[in-house]
Amino acid sequence: MLFNSYTFIVFFMVMLVLHNLPFSWKVKKVNLLLASYIFYAAWNPPFILLLWLSTVIDFFVGRALYTEENKHRKKLLLVVSLIGNLGMLCFFKYGGFFLDNFVTLVNSIGINYHPAKPNIILPAGISFYTFTTLCYTIDMYKRKSEPVRSLLNFSLFVTFFPHLVAGPIVRPPQLVPQFETPRKASQKQLLQGLFLLTLGLFMKVVLADSMLSGAADTVFTAKGQLPALDAWMGVLAFSGQIFFDFAGYSSCAIGVASCLGFVLPENFLYPYAAIGFSDFWRRWHITLSAWLRDYLYIPLGGNRKGKLRTYVNLMITMLLGGLWHGASWTFVAWGALHGTYLCVEKFIQDFRKKRSLVPAPSLATETIVLQGVAAPRFLKKIWPHNFTLALLTFFLINVTWVFFRSPDFSSAGHLLSSLFGAVHNGVGVLSTLAVIKVSIITVALVLTHWYMRERRVLNVANHAPWWLVGIAWGLMLVALIMSQETGSSFIYFQF
């Protein structure tokens, strides 16, 4: 079921009515759980079995991990959870990828091996709910928090429909306590939730699908060489499309949860105003970058084992982060580029510190590297023109999107050569209207991100005149009603 569908509108209205009827809190939680299964079953009902299996295994394994004193049994239990979760993820998401690469490898050494290709259907959102359950069992292993006592609460934590398919990736302390006491949205929460839902749908339906997807698809599916203008317009269109699509989903998820009285963590903080790449990852897909930091980068050693190991850990983290997004070497290349950017940024940072040009940042380097809190302060002291640096960051981020969107390296290579002027006689594929449209939206996007860089949309709305908020809200609703794009899937559903 899609947020941007008429089916969801009916579903959501029914859920709001049920959630506000005078039922007991347990009955309301059961209603939410059943609704979450219905929401997920709209794609493929049999895959609910995977959700049940992951939920039940991690609930009981997590409880045992927390109470087990024997170190060997404790490790064995953790291995059971890892195999159960990562095994399903690897089979459904990476089975065909691993098989194709194995076949290529054995054929390259002279072994003629051509097995039948497996027909594996990727369950929607498997990467998201796998990471959600994994963080629980790992936290139980490390005894970072108390185990969830109720299977109902844990099941709802895993399957709560606003975040189930494409995040935000939540952790037990962020959501489970909210299920322990009755929740009902206040008037303010309801209005804010409906506003965020409208904003998210406007970003997805109007901006991502109606305004930008056409230009992006045209350029990235073009067979021949392209003029630089068309190539850049296509890349910028996808840059805007993927932001509006994914941030739109996150806004919808947070808004829907707010309408029911729950709070989900923020997932985007105007990433195209980032000053540097660590700052970008503090603002883009925040819950994933925090997960990778806490459950991969720091366990690998973080910055605690020397400079060389820090760079290696950074690169491993971003390579696996790229692979998490999709079973393709182009996603690995996308992660490698981001890893390279972060390593270069870290090298410059260390060099400046060594030369004593700036004082050492006060926050932990793990935070600087993957969350970027201190990096902007550092950069502000050595580069007075922060907006220029933000534009440079945006430019380099756009280069990485070429690998993220391209189906293969050949297509990515052709587009890169078009971007940087290696093509002088390419045939244009975009109309003048499409170029103007992408240009206006891109400029507006960057300027809006810069203006909102240290702000939050709800705070701005709360302090704005009521009539101005009403006009903006009304215009978004009119644009949604007039839009013909109402059923396309969100980009991150494939991950």
pLDDT band at 303 (very low <50, low <70, confident <90, very high): confident
227 and 418 Cβ atoms separated by less than 8 Å = yes
Which residues, in sequence order, are CB contacts of 11 under 8 Å at separation 6+?
1, 35, 38, 39
Mean pLDDT of the chain, nearest integer: 87
**Domain for residue 163, yes or no?**
yes
- Mean pLDDT computed over 152-181: 91
**Domain for residue 112, yes or no?**
yes
Spatial separation of the C-alpha atoms in residues 170 and 30, rounded to whole Å: 20
**Domain for residue 330, yes or no?**
no
Spatial separation of the C-alpha atoms in residues 261 and 152, rounded to whole Å: 18
Tell me, yes or no, if 325 is annotated catalytic.
Answer: yes
- Residue whose structure tokens are 């139980």: 140
Task: Provide the domain limits for residue 29.
Answer: 21-180
**Domain for residue 160, yes or no?**
yes
Residue 335: both structure tokens together: 């992660």
**Domain for residue 493, yes or no?**
no
pLDDT tens for 312-333 read 999 999 999 999 888 899 999 9
Instruction: Assess whether pLDDT exceeds 60 at residue 236.
Output: yes
**Domain for residue 338, yes or no?**
no
pLDDT tens for 484-493 read 655 566 666 6
Residue 214: both structure tokens together: 């056409």
Q: Which residues of 292-303 are buried (b: 16+ CB within 10 A; e: fewer)?
A: bbbbbbbebebb
**Domain for residue 157, yes or no?**
yes
pLDDT tens for 13-36 read 999 999 999 999 999 999 999 999
Catalytic residue among 19, 163, 325, 449: 325
pLDDT band at 363 (very low <50, low <70, confident <90, very high): very low
Tell me how crowded residue 464 is: count the other CB atoms within 10 A of its CB. Answer: 12
**Domain for residue 381, yes or no?**
no
Q: Please give the tally of structural domains in the chain.
A: 1
Spatial separation of the C-alpha atoms in residues 486 and 459, rounded to whole Å: 29
